[in-house]
Structure 1
Amino acid sequence: MTMDVTKIPLDAERMLSGLRRWVECESPTYDKPSVDRMMALAAEDMQAMGFEVETIPGPEGLGNCVRGAFPHPRAGEPGILIIGHLDTVHPLGTLEKLPFRREGDICWGPGICDMKGGNYIAISAVKALAEMGVETPLPVHVLLTSDEEIGTPGTRALIEAEAAKHRYILVPEPAWARNTVVTGRYAIARYHLTAMGRPSHAGAALKAGQSAVKMMARQLIAIEDMTDEDCTFSVSVMHGGQWVNCVPTIARAECLSMAKRQEDLDRGTENILAFDRREADGTGFVVEKSVVRPVWEASAGTMELYERVRRIGNALGFDLAHASEGGGSDGNFTGAMGLPTLDGLGVVGADVHTLNEHIEVSSLVSRGRLLGGLLAELGA
């Protein structure tokens, strides 16, 4: 690498000011109008930075997506695809409990770390290279999606189709620790659980009924107790019953399972599906497999990307570690396709998905320069 990455013109204060607008535009996955507003804001900012932008209608009931391309002499050729999501887990109104605020090098806000911060530094890095007269060897494209936090049920096909057009995939999900990147992801599966009981009057004929809530509680414990070092099970999003004086007929929940290897996830799937049973009287427990993220194991292409970014990190004054991580991202899909994929390139922070989600402000510049340096040398 010949350019001095420490000279990439990124300013933390200016970046934080732009990022604040994104953070204060709440965008929970299931609120389509809110996600659409966030996508429109991102599209507006990308256009102002010089990107050619297209809005793609989202999956049914979910928000739109945005595809951007930075002008390049080799436009249309396979290049670099940056993938990110702009939906968050935080419901509308979270800003009242978790307002955008800063104390020294720490800044809080819903979605600031996962992963609005990473997306913002990625497009800022592209713009910064252009400002200093550096043309990337390969064309750079950006795809921002709307349903990653629920497992990417509607945009997986779009992601895979876009990724197949390119040579390298970069994912600015949060860094899992200060000087790190991600070179693999565990396999993840989701399941819908339904307990079906028998109704009765809870006061006058309690024993005549069979409580779906009680059934769900028992099965929940049994399912989570299957967790071991190789495959985990976590049950949440529970709903059951409607009237306290009625024995509940239906109870529903969702289960998330994560495994380090595909064979472990397959074993876990077999085990949880064994809980499915239907009785002749209509009672029973139903387990339905939902969305799955395949395991992504580091390929030679991914490790070549890591060695490149590690050299860039050294030039910036830090040594990057790498690991396969849980949590899942859309990098699972591109990595499993065999495409050179590097993940965890986003901001440094902590406590994502909580009311303490925050970033280290200084990482806007350090990680932005890391991304910029990588974009400037890939394909050279």
Structure 2
Amino acid sequence: MDPNALPFDADAMLQGLRPWVECESPTFDAAAVGRMMDIAARDLALMGARIERIAGRMGFGDCIRASFPHPSREPGILVMGHLDTVHPIGTLPRLPWRRDGARCYGPGIYDMKGGNYLSLEALRQVARAGVATNLPVTVLFTSDEEVGSPSTRDLIEAEAGRHKYVLVPEPARPDGGVVTGRYAIARFNLEATGRPSHAGARLADGRSAIREMARQILAIEEMTTDDCTFSVGVIHGGQWVNCVTTTCTGEALSMAKRQEDLDRGVAAMLALRPSGNDVQFAVTRGVTRPVWEPDASGAALYEHASRIAQSLGFAIPPQSAGGGSDGNFTGAMGIATLDGLGVQGGGGHTLEEHILVDSLARRGRLMAGLLATLA
């Protein structure tokens, strides 16, 4: 099969993608994520897939697994993506769906609904061309990737373990490259505890948890080196401005290129202590993504994809990347994984999130070539 001959149409793909993008699906709103799963499940069912709804847990939304009919029972291809986004309900008025020349904007369009949708279009195009894939194909859409996949890691690893290849349509790298490895990431929960008092009448009697958290934030972020980074991205504290705050909580993130560097970073975080005897500060470990280091099976998969891309007239340079994905889990398992197969664009997680429209068809042909030729 020649992927160049497949009639991908970017404008038609945008029409199909728009309902996905306009269905806001922030991770922490399980019902909203469920509505997005409904849309994707219907599209997959119309394509002939057998749909299984997998109940969410830990307060997160459901997942869906779609299996396409195939005579073989051997390990096949898993196309894996997430349908949750970082954008809260109500983002659409500020970041509406709009086409502006070569770009199209919308919440979650780049990370990663565009890549998920082009994967479905690739499956459609292969089927319409009458091409039978060499291996069975399964699609798994999950609901909590943006918070580290705490409720779905076991599902991801179990499903990946039944497959030979994992294709992840997360966004492409800025130069159009793909991801063949990812850095290790750890999350931490922070809690500072002070002593309450009336902020007007008895200020000196209190010990502010917010003040303690502020001190700790500076200490945490100053631990950043070239080998391991630290950042605090979430803070909650206080309810009344006239009360000295008793409790302040936060969340921190650490990222490293090597597992041993992350392990040292984790140890440093867990060793943090209060700045004084009259306040408390505690760090507990959250979810962790293991380092995914390139290996022989992944290299062979990349070389296969690179040859397809070359036949289509473009290059996909391989890169290890910061920023986690569920490919961390499958790559660390030693399963041949190729990430960054999705759309090109930019502004992820911001009100400038967009895709490059012409990348829909170009990257769709690459995905179609992989689906049709992997064996």
What is the aligned partner in structure 2 of residue 159 from structure 1?
A: 156
1:192-207 counterparts in 2 under 5 A?
A: 192-207=189-204
1:245-256 counterparts in 2 under 5 A?
A: 245-256=242-253
* C-alpha distance 9-97 of structure 1, shift in aligned 2 (>3 A): same
What is the aligned partner in structure 2 of residue 341 from structure 1?
A: 337
C-alpha distance in 1, partners of 2:81/2:286?
Answer: 22
Which letter maps to 1:224? E
Which letter maps to 2:139? V
The runs of at least 4 aligned residues of structure 1 exceeding 2 Å deviation read: 276-281
What is the aligned partner in structure 2 of residue 208 from structure 1?
A: 205
C-alpha distance in 1, partners of 2:145/2:179?
Answer: 17
C-alpha distance in 2, partners of 1:346/1:307?
Answer: 17
Which residue among 15, 33, 43 is the counterpart of 2:41?
43
C-alpha distance in 2, partners of 1:148/1:111?
Answer: 13
Give the SS at the match of 1:236. Answer: strand
What is the aligned partner in structure 2 of residue 25 from structure 1?
A: 23
C-alpha distance in 2, partners of 1:277/1:266?
Answer: 22
Shift of residue 347, structure 1, vs aligned partner: 0.5
What is the aligned partner in structure 1 of residue 101 from structure 2?
A: 104
Which residue among 348, 354, 357 is the counterpart of 1:352?
348
Give the SS at the match of 1:191. Answer: strand
What is the aligned partner in structure 2 of residue 298 from structure 1?
A: 294
Q: Is the 8 A contact 1:84 1:171 kept in 2?
A: yes
Which residue among 229, 236, 241 is the counterpart of 2:238?
241
Which letter maps to 1:341? T
Give the SS at the match of 1:97. Answer: coil
Give the SS at the match of 1:160. Answer: helix
Shift of residue 60, structure 1, vs aligned partner: 2.9
What is the aligned partner in structure 2 of residue 311 from structure 1?
A: 307
What is the aligned partner in structure 1 of residue 122 from structure 2?
A: 125
Q: Is the 8 A contact 1:185 1:332 kept in 2?
A: yes
C-alpha distance in 2, partners of 1:12/1:196?
Answer: 54
After alignment, is 196-205 or 352-361 more displaced? 196-205
1:60-82: per-residue Cα shift (whole Å, max 9, x none)?
A: 311110100111111x3210001
Shift of residue 179, structure 1, vs aligned partner: 2.2
C-alpha distance in 1, partners of 2:153/2:325?
Answer: 11
C-alpha distance in 2, partners of 1:21/1:52?
Answer: 22
1:245-269: per-residue Cα shift (whole Å, max 9, x none)?
A: 1111001110011100000100111
Which letter maps to 2:324? G
1:52 aligns with 2:50: yes
Which letter maps to 1:267? R
Which letter maps to 2:153? R
1:269-294: per-residue Cα shift (whole Å, max 9, x none)?
A: 1111111459876x310001000000
Which residue among 11, 14, 18 is the counterpart of 1:13?
11
C-alpha distance in 2, partners of 1:131/1:50?
Answer: 12
Give the SS at the match of 1:167. Answer: strand
How many residues align? The count is 375
**So what's the TM-score if we normalise by structure 2?**
0.98
Give the SS at the match of 1:363. Answer: helix
1:369 aligns with 2:365: yes
**So what's the TM-score if we normalise by structure 1?**
0.97
What residue ranges of structure 2 are gaps of 5+ in the alignment? none
1:82 aligns with 2:79: yes
* C-alpha distance 265-212 of structure 1, shift in aligned 2 (>3 A): same
After alignment, is 55-64 or 247-256 more displaced? 55-64
Give the SS at the match of 1:94. Answer: coil
What is the aligned partner in structure 2 of residue 257 from structure 1?
A: 254
Which letter maps to 1:100? W
Which residue among 71, 77, 92 is the counterpart of 2:69?
71
1:297-320: per-residue Cα shift (whole Å, max 9, x none)?
A: 011010101101110111110121
Shift of residue 92, structure 1, vs aligned partner: 0.2
Which residue among 284, 287, 292 is the counterpart of 1:288?
284
C-alpha distance in 2, partners of 1:179/1:236?
Answer: 28
C-alpha distance in 2, partners of 1:348/1:339?
Answer: 25
Which residue among 264, 268, 293 is the counterpart of 2:265?
268
